[in-house]
Amino acid sequence: MPWKEFFIEREPGFELVEKTNVRKITYAEAINETFHQMMASDKSIYIMGQGVDDPLGMFGTTSGLQEKFGKKRVFDTPLSENALTGIAVGSALSGMKPVYIHNRPDFLLLAMDQIVNHASKWNFMFGGKRSVPLVIMATIGRGWGSAAQHSQAIHSLFMHIPGLRLVMPSIAYDAKGLLITSILDNNPVIFIQHRGILKHKSSVPEKMYSIPFGKGIIRRKGKDVTIVAISYMVIEAIRAAEKLEKEKINIEIIDPRTLKPLDEDIILNSVKKTGRLIICDVGWKTGGVGAEIAAVLMEKGMKYFKAPIKRVSSPDIPTPSSYILEEKFYPGMEEIIAAVKEIIK
């Protein structure tokens, strides 16, 4: 069946987390449904990764897939990330559409040679005649004391590499639409999901649809301060905005959805209105996503600012495992509120 026959266009004005006339499912359920629909429609798609056939199904995202599509299209992988990524790259070059799922992005560090030196560069080196339609997925975020080697948010590393797409949805609706776009794209895509939003529900049509890369969205309209929130920080920013509204401080929240390509215009247009910008990221501060967005805005919109840009992000230390220390390490609503009050002085 041609793709266009079951794709629907993105609904205009679908800006909020909820839509009353559409069923609500969790982020994990949206990912799982997408896999089922895409694999049923295209036999070249297969899923590999440590634990994809586990009873828990990678937080529920791969549940039922091996039972439906068999062990040749959904299979567990050994602890050899660089070699297995090389296999995925080779199969993509041969016409397959692999989805390689990692429990944690820390494991991607073991596959950087294949991701950075091979997957990202084949299309360029061969003048567009060869492509690598590979999706690499990983889950970040606070867990159960995962500590320094199993809870790193390293997405900014991939933002630095030409040839890669970087996708970080914050709600179930976007997760489905962007995963479809990622699987169909001829470029390698790094798809990062956050553990904190896997059970979060939002309105998701059962019918298949795509969301284009490089198109951010306004999650909440406001006039006093622009907040660019990445992944789970969208939820924390909304909580902060609701509290600040009681103090007559009006926040506009921008969700970029994809970091590469980045929708620079939606952020710039918001800053033209508010004159203030806070960037909330789920990763480290130094050399992070916030630094890149701040640089872009300074280059293109310095004249609009009434106050210096502020960043809310994780401190530049390895992630602790202690629950008490985790409480201090991970930023959230309170840190956002403090940043807003400082920037509007």
CA distance to 40, 49, 163, 200, per residue, from 99 (Å): 14, 8, 17, 23
Residue bearing tokens 């004159």: 275
Q: State phi, psi for 65 to the nearest 5 degrees.
A: -75, -45
Torsion of CA 15, 162, 312, 145, to 10 degrees: 100
Provide CB contacts within 8 A for 343, sequence distance 6+. Answer: 225, 276, 278, 307, 308, 310
Query: Quick check: is 36 catalytic?
Result: no
At 93, list the tokens.
Answer: 């070059």
Q: What angle do CA 160, 258, 285 make, to 5 degrees?
A: 50
Residue type, 322: S
Task: For residues 83 and 180, give the distance between their C-alpha atoms in angstroms, rounded to a whole number.
Answer: 26
- Helices in the chain by DSSP H: which ranges? 27-41, 65-69, 81-93, 112, 122-125, 155-159, 172-184, 233-245, 264-274, 289-301, 323-329, 333-343
Active-site position among 102, 118, 150, 194: 150
At 144, list the tokens.
Answer: 């159960």
Instruction: Give which of 269, 258, 260 is closest to 226, Cα–Cα.
Output: 269
Provide CB contacts within 8 A for 237, sequence distance 6+. Answer: 219, 220, 227, 229, 251, 253, 280, 336
The residues annotated with a catalytic role in the active site are 150
